[in-house]
Chains A and B, each alone.
Chain A
Amino acid sequence: MSLRTLAFASACALALAASSALAETNVTILHVNEVAAAKTLWDKIAADYNAAHPGVKVQFKYLENEAFKAKLPTMLQSDERPDLFYSWGGGVMQAQDKAGLLKDITADLADVESKMSTTAVNAFKVDGKAVGVPFEMGEVAFYYNKKLFAQAGVKAEDVKSWDDFLGAVKKLKAAGITPLVVGAGEKWPMHFYYSYLVIRIGGDGALADAKANKNGGFKNATFVEAGKRLHELAALEPFQAGYLSTTHAQSAGVFGDGKAAMDLMGQWLLGMQAPNSASGKGLPADDIGILSFPVVPGGKGKPTDTLGGVNGFLVSKSAPPEAVDFLKFFSQEKYAKEAAATSAYIPVVKGAEAAITDPLQRRLADDLAASTYHQNFFDQDLGPSVGRVINDVSVAVAAGQTTPEAAAAAIQEAADQQ
């Protein structure tokens, strides 16, 4: 063989080797999490995985929340669809599954399932089959300003039942303090009140029965009474002035300014109240306490039932096996512990919550671990069509614009039109 032929042959061989190395598998993960600690952790997990698996490139891609929701339906119809994408579970996930866009990964998850919270895993199952993997759980609770409580003579430990709660509200108002702040301009913050009342009154079967159209569907007594209780609360005028046009960010700022005693909100409030406050510093963590939603007398719900989000990643039908493999890698206890320690989010991997250092987050994680029934946000669980109606009627009932019966009927009507 001449020198030239040899050179040519080796050049070809080199090119072939290079191109097969270039033919790596790309895994794209689309998400909406803007929390800096989470983003840093996830990039690290991706880097670790890529290093351990040459030939695979996992990449996280961020889209803003509304942009994500606007783009996902079209994206899933093109070749640019992400392999894994962020989800809040509930109705949207079910619609995506029904359209044949998700992959059944029940078999792959069999060995990992038991390591995660059962509620969380079930939140990402449709008709018994797993279509995604959860990574975060949250709880909605009353965040209260300890100083303002002391000022009005309200003791958090004494607020256990709904009547105790109304009493506390009256005391705060008498002391000239705004008892509650709510971002009703965006509507969904108000539906937390309605949702909690439903599960405190009706217990763990209430929503499921309503969805299945049992006991009169959404028109049954539980929903009507929840509306009545909400109206009862609103009649005390506990909210800040102009609450109907306050945005969620503004309400976080009001709480951070120390201008309101309580805010019924999810765990992200802790990260929001400081930057949105006038001073930029917000309330010091020591001044914030957590109060569980009170029990309603005569209700079937237990004080240990929790309302909160479950977030995870869904697997797209065309995702390569490396994507599912990455999800299992992602769900390892060591990363969950790091998420807990940096307050990126409350992880669903059992035992990881022990790594949480922040006392407030710890309290939430303990509540979740001890939860007897965990309910996903109503406006996620029911899907956007019925969910938005719940948001609308929560505000309407609170403001006295509609009766509890009419509200319940409106929810039922939206459910029927689905």
Chain B
Amino acid sequence: MNGLAAIAIFGALVVVAGIVLVPILATVFGGFKDLGELRVNLLGLPRHWVWSGYWDILASVRYWRVLGNSLLIALLTVALTLALSSMTAFAFAHLKFFGDKFLLNYLMLGLLFPAATAILPLFIKIRDLGLLDSYWGVVLPQVAFSLAMAVLLLRNAFKQLPAELLDAAMMDGCGYFRYFLFITLPLSGPILSTVAVISFVASWNGYLLPLVVLDSESRYPWTLGLMAFQGQYNTSWQLVLAFITLTILPAILMFLMAQRYIVAGLTAGALKG
């Protein structure tokens, strides 16, 4: 592609990135301001840099504990989601059996009902299974809710792998299980990492489910830990922003790690021949 077009595209990207970043930077800098200044000077740099906001949070045990909890819950959710959804998607992608369309539609229904209304009956199920106030009580429902989208995305991608590969493998005596483990999964790097990132972010920002399931403060994820800065009448918004800024970092790290798989997927595709 010629140089002029490349520069133009790069320029356009910079402009869009700038627009996108303005609110994000406002959030980051907001943590360095006083509550009053935040209200009147949103978009500028802090007139008076308040270091204690970020520093106190980083120095507090609570921050690291809630971060650790969020990380644990999110990683468990991602692992279980990837495992279950890839298996399910594989079956739906390659096999035709009685009831396959029905079951796929059944799963899809999970996307269509607002989860907020189902909190009460969900709570009762979690309670009856004895999972209240436990990490699994949060992880298992989160996995269940993310299955629909994950299965649809993965099934889509699995079906796009060339049919000859499967035929050749079958003729060589390779069963479905080995095909799944040694061919499908390795070749699906980009989509698997996309699903991983999506379910990580969904779990990371989850609030209502941990709120009703968890009672012990020691198990609180960061979304519940945020409550310490919020009150009935008086909320320290500048600390809320600082806290949120500090909790985005692990999500970004997860994203960057997942991006390495996309690069790997690039090269794998080129070698297929």
Contacts and interface: CB of A to CB of B under 8 A. Distances in A.
Interface in A56-100: 61-65, 67, 70-71, 73-75, 77-80
A256 B34 CA distance: 14
B120 A248 contact: no
Given A250-B39, A278-B36, A278-B39, A77 B237 contact: no
A73 B124 CA distance: 11
Contact of B127 (A78, A256, A277): A78
A268 B232 CA distance: 10
Given A65-B232, A70-B208, A268-B234, A77 B227 contact: no
Contacts of A268: 232-234
A275 B132 contact: no
B57 interface: no
Given A33-B232, A78-B132, A253 B212 contact: no
Contact of B227 (A33, A64, A79, A271): A64
Interface string B10-40: 0000000000000000000000001111011
A279 B36 contact: yes
B36 A80 contact: no
A264 to B, nearest CB: 15
B36 A275 contact: yes
A272 B35 CA distance: 11
A280 interface: yes
Contact of A249 (B212, B215, B237): B237
Contact of A34 (B37, B40, B217, B234): B234
Interface string A240-261: 0000000011100100100000
A100 B211 CA distance: 24
B235 interface: yes
Contacts of A279: 36
A233 interface: no
B123 A63 contact: no
B170 interface: no
Interface in B222-237: 224, 227-228, 230-237
A117 B163 CA distance: 81
A188 to B, nearest CB: 11
Contacts of A109: none
Contacts of B36: 253, 256, 275-280
Chain B binding site: helix, strand, loop or mixed by DSSP?
A: helix
Interface in B207-263: 208, 211-212, 215, 217, 224, 227-228, 230-237
Q: Which range holds the interface residue count of chain B? A: 20 to 34
Given A249-B234, A278-B40, A74 B35 contact: no
Nearest to A73: B120
B119 interface: yes
B37 to A, nearest CB: 7
Contacts of A280: 34-37
B234 A70 contact: no
A73 B132 CA distance: 15
A360 interface: no
Given A78-B132, A249-B237, A65 B212 contact: no
B213 to A, nearest CB: 9
Contacts of A250: 39
Interface in A262-307: 268, 271-272, 275-280
Contacts of B127: 77-78
B234 A272 contact: yes
B39 A253 contact: yes
A32 interface: yes
Contacts of A79: 132
Given A67-B227, A71-B211, A278-B40, A248 B133 contact: no
Given A64-B232, A74-B119, 9 more contacts: A35-B231, A64-B230, A67-B224, A71-B211, A74-B123, A78-B123, A268-B233, A271-B234, A280-B34
22 contacts: A33-B232, A34-B232, A64-B230, A64-B232, A70-B211, A70-B212, A74-B212, A77-B123, A77-B124, A78-B127, A80-B215, A248-B233, A249-B234, A253-B36, A268-B234, A271-B234, A275-B35, A275-B234, A276-B35, A276-B234, A278-B37, A278-B39
Interface of A: 32-35, 61-65, 67, 70-71, 73-75, 77-80, 248-250, 253, 256, 268, 271-272, 275-280
Nearest 3 A/B pairs, CB to CB: A34-B231, A64-B227, A65-B232
